[in-house]
Amino acid sequence: MTISTQILPLVKDPERLENRLKEIPPEPGVYFMRDASDRIMYIGKSRKLRSRVRSYFRNSQGLSERIAMMVKQVTEIEFIVTDTEAEALALEANLIKQHLPYFNVLLKDDKKYPYVCITWSEEYPRIFITRKRRTGKEKDKFYGPYTDSHLLREILRISKRIFALRQRPQPLFKDRPCLNYDLGRCPGVCQGLITPEEYRKTVQKVAMVFQGRTQELIDILTNQMAKQAEALNFESAARIRDQISGLKSLNADQKVSLPDDTVSRDAIALAGDEQHACIQLFQIRAGQLVGRLAFVADAHAEPGAILQRVLEEHYQTADSVEIPTEILVQHDLPDAEILADVLSQRKGRKVAILAPQRQTKAELIEMVERNAQYELQRMQKFGDRNAQAMQDLAAILDLPDLPHRIEGYDISHIQGSNAVASQVVFIDGIPAKQYYRHYKIKNPTVTTGHSDDFASLAEVIQRRFRKYAEDPEMLRQGNPDFPDLVMIDGGKGQLSSVITVLQEMNLLEDLRVISLAKKREEIFLPGESEPVVTEIEQPGVQLLRRLRDEAHRFAVTFHRQQRSDKLKRSRLDEIPGLGHHRQKLLLGHFRSVDYIRQATPEQLGEVSGIGPHLATVIYDYFHP
C-alpha cells in the first residue's frame, strides 16, 4: 500500500479525504493514522473499518481534545483487514506494542508502582522487585504493578523463606556455597548443586503465588505431603507441611465476602479528574483478595475505553491460568464482547465481563472505586505541590509558561580523575528517570590532578544540544526532547562557560539556562552579576534544589562506579601480556581480583584465552 507524499493534512484536502475513505472496506481490521513525517500517530481497531475511520472526520465535536488534535495532523490512513474482530484486537495490541504511537499512549509508565520479575530467560531464574517493566527478553515474566510495596516485599521475603531459592545475584565464593546453602535457604545454585530443571520447578511454585494461585499450590503440596508420609519420608513431609503453613499465612487476613467464592474474578474501577485517571484492579481467588494492582492513565478518553485498554494490556502478557472466569467492570466497555471472546479462547473456557448494578458484586466495584479515589487524592495532593512549585519558579524566572521539562547537570570527580557528568530530567516537577543520562568527560585537559568543571560542563552541553545546532528544523517542530529550562549546578563561572558554548551554537536565544549555587542556594541568570532575589524555602527554589540534589546523586553514583571499575582493573593492568579483553575474561570467571590472586596456575589456565605461559605469568605476579 503506497503512502502519500503530500504533507497537506486530509482535513484540508476534502477530495482526497473522501477518496481515501471510500477505499476503506466495511470489514473488521486495524487502521493506522500517519502524519506528514510518515510517522504512525495512532493505531485503532474496529468491526467496521470504514464507519470507524469516517467518524473521526464527520463528528469532530464528539472527539476529545487530544484526538481532535491528532485528526488535524493526519495526512494518510492505512488499514489491515482481518477475518474476525478478535484477530483485530490481538493485531492492534501487538502493533501498538511494536510502534508505540504517541496518541495511543494511554497508560503512564509510573515508577512508583513496583513489579515482580522472574527471569525465565536465565538458566537459574532470579526473582526480584523492580519499578521498571523492561521488555528486552520475551521469556522474562512481570507481575504487577502492585499498590502496596511493603506487602509485596513481605510476600517475596516469606516466599524465599518457604522455598529454597537463590539468595544472591552473584556468588559469594568461587569454589563453595555460602551459609544460605547450609541453612537450607538456597539449593546451591552458584555451584550447580541443583539442576536447572529441578530449580525451575521450585520457581514455578513461587510464580503460582504471584499468579493468584496460592490455594491451588496449597492443594498440590497437601497431596505431596500425604504421599511422602505414606512412603515414611517424614522429614520431607514435615518440610512440605512448613511450606503449606507459610503459604496460608500470606493471605490469612484478606477475605472478601462473595456468595460464590469458588469463582475466580477480577474487579476493576477508576477515579479521575481532568488530567489523570487512577485505576485499581482487585484480583480475587477463592474469596480471597490475592492482589491489588494500580495503573495511571491520561483522562483523555471515556471511562469505559480506559478500562478496556487497561484490561487489554494487563491480560496481553498473562498466562491462561491467570485469566479469571469473571471480570467485573465499573463502566460498560466499548468492545466487551470482543475482549471476552479473545480471553475465552485463550483460557479455554467462557470468560464473562459484567458491569454489576446491584447487590454484592456492585458493592465490590464500589470498594474498588473508593480505593481508586484515595489514590487519585494522593496524586492530586502531590501534583498540587508540584504545580505550585512550577508556578513559583515561572514567576521567579519570569517565564512565559510553566517549565514542563527541566534538565539539571552536574560534574563529579576526585581531583580530575574519573570525571563524569549527569543529566537528570524532571517532567512537570517529577523525576523522569527514563530520560536520565551519564557522560564520561572526554576533554584531554581534564586529567588526574587537573580538574576543570567549566570545560567539563561546556563539553556536556555541547554534546547534549549539538543535534539542534546541526539541524535547526528540530526546534521549529516543537521537539518534546528539548527542555524548557536548563539548570547548571554551580555559580556564575559555570554558567558563563555554558553560555559561551550555546552562543557558539546559536542556541542561546532558544534555551533558557540558569545556575544554582550551593552555599546560599542562589539563582544566577545569564548576563546578571547579582543573584535573583529569592527565599530559600520558596516552592520554586525547593524544586530547583530537588533537581540539583538529584543531579548530584546521579553524578556521584556514576563516578563511584567508574572509580570502582578502575580499581578492580588497576592491578591487572600491571601484568605483562594481559590486555583488556583477557582481563574481562578473568574477572568474568573469578568475579574479583582476590579470587584471581588465590587461583593456581592450573585454575588460571582453565579460563578461555589464558594459556599455560600467561597463567604462570599471572601467578608469579601475585606470588613473587
Residue 79 shares a structural domain with residue 151: no
Full 3-state SS string of 66-94: HHHHHHCCCCEEEEEECCCHHHHHHHHHH
Report H helices in 260-415: 303-316, 336-347, 359-397
Return the pLDDT at 220. Answer: 84
By the 10 Å C-beta count (0-12 exposed, 13-18 middle, 19+ buried), 284 is classed as buried
Grouping H, G, I as helix, E, B as strand and the rest as coil, residue 587 is helix
Residue 419 shares a structural domain with residue 549: yes
Residue 170 shares a structural domain with residue 280: no
Domain count, the chain: 5
Return the pLDDT at 110. Answer: 53
Supply 147's cell numbers: 499498590
Return the pLDDT at 462. Answer: 92
Pairing label, strands 115-118, 76-81: unpaired
Supply 616's cell numbers: 604462570
Sequence-distant (6+) residues with CB within 8 A of 547 are: 406, 408, 424, 426, 487
Residue 119 shares a structural domain with residue 187: yes
Distances (CA, A) of 546 to 114, 258, 304, 484, 543: 23, 47, 38, 17, 5
The CATH number that applies at residue 278 is 3.30.420.10
Pairing label, strands 405-414, 430-431: unpaired
Q: Residue 397 domain-assigned?
A: no
Residue 556 shares a structural domain with residue 423: yes
Report H helices in 434-515: 453-470, 473-476, 492-504
Other beta carbons within 10 Å of 359: 9
Residue reference for cell 537450607:
184
For the chain, the straight-line distance linking the first and the last C-alpha, in angstroms and rounded, comes to 73
The CATH number that applies at residue 589 is 1.10.150.20
Return the pLDDT at 251. Answer: 60
Q: Residues, the chain, total?
A: 624
Return the pLDDT at 463. Answer: 93
Residue 398's Cβ-side half-sphere holds a number of Cα atoms within 13 Å equal to 3
Grouping H, G, I as helix, E, B as strand and the rest as coil, residue 230 is helix
Give which of 374, 348, 473, 457 is closest to 408, Cα–Cα.
457
Give which of 118, 113, 96 is closest to 105, Cα–Cα.
96
Return the pLDDT at 569. Answer: 58
Q: 161 is in which domain, residue-wise?
A: 115-250
Distance between CA atoms of residues 134 and 621, nearest Å: 43
Report H helices in 231-335: 234-250, 303-316
The CATH number that applies at residue 48 is 3.40.1440.10
Residue 360 shares a structural domain with residue 478: no
**Which among 207, 223, 250 is the end of a domain?**
250
Cα 432 to its chain centre, rounded Å, is 11
Supply 507's cell numbers: 542556541
Other beta carbons within 10 Å of 40: 20
Residue 191 shares a structural domain with residue 242: yes
Q: Are 330 and 303 in contact (CB under 8 A)?
A: yes
Residue 51 shares a structural domain with residue 169: no
Distance between CA atoms of residues 333 and 309, nearest Å: 9
Element (H, E) at 357: none
Q: Residue 569 domain-assigned?
A: no
Distance between CA atoms of residues 479 and 502, nearest Å: 18
The CATH number that applies at residue 414 is 3.30.420.340
Q: Residue 229 domain-assigned?
A: yes
**Which among 218, 250, 282 is the end of a domain?**
250
Pairing label, strands 29-34, 40-46: antiparallel
Residue 126 shares a structural domain with residue 145: yes
Grouping H, G, I as helix, E, B as strand and the rest as coil, residue 599 is coil
Beta bridge partners of 30: 45, 80
The series of mean pLDDT values per 10 residues for the chain, 624 residues long, is 58 88 91 88 88 82 72 90 83 79 65 80 88 71 79 82 81 81 85 90 87 80 86 83 77 57 86 86 81 81 87 83 91 88 89 88 90 87 81 90 92 84 90 88 83 90 89 70 91 91 89 88 88 87 92 90 69 78 83 83 87 88 82
**Which among 59, 85, 104 is the end of a domain?**
104
Give which of 418, 419, 446, 406 is closest to 548, Cα–Cα.
406
Return the pLDDT at 24. Answer: 92
Q: Residue 3 domain-assigned?
A: no
Range list of β-strands (E), 144-301: 265-272, 276-285, 288-298
Angle (nearest 5°) at CA 349 between 344 and 350: 60
Grouping H, G, I as helix, E, B as strand and the rest as coil, residue 6 is coil
Distance between CA atoms of residues 186 and 485, nearest Å: 50
One-character DSSP codes across 374-406: HHHHHHHHHHHHHHHHHHHHHHHHT-SS--SEE
Other beta carbons within 10 Å of 330: 22
Sequence-distant (6+) residues with CB within 8 A of 576 are: 617
Sequence-distant (6+) residues with CB within 8 A of 403 are: 390, 393, 394, 483, 484, 485
Q: Residue 392 domain-assigned?
A: no
Residue 518 shares a structural domain with residue 416: yes
By the 10 Å C-beta count (0-12 exposed, 13-18 middle, 19+ buried), 85 is classed as buried
Supply 583's cell numbers: 582481563
Tell me the pLDDT tens digit for each residue of 308-365: 888 988 888 788 888 999 999 999 998 888 889 889 988 888 999 999 888 888 888 9
Grouping H, G, I as helix, E, B as strand and the rest as coil, residue 487 is strand
Residue reference for cell 470468560:
351
Q: Residue 109 domain-assigned?
A: no
Residue 132 shares a structural domain with residue 245: yes
Residue reference for cell 596456575:
601
- Provide, for the chain, the percentages of residues in helix, strand and coil under a 3-state DSSP scheme, each rounded to the nearest 5: 45, 20, 35
Q: Residue 352 domain-assigned?
A: yes
Q: Residue 260 domain-assigned?
A: no
Q: Is 111 left (phi over 0), alpha (psi -120 to 50) or beta?
A: alpha
Residue 238 shares a structural domain with residue 281: no
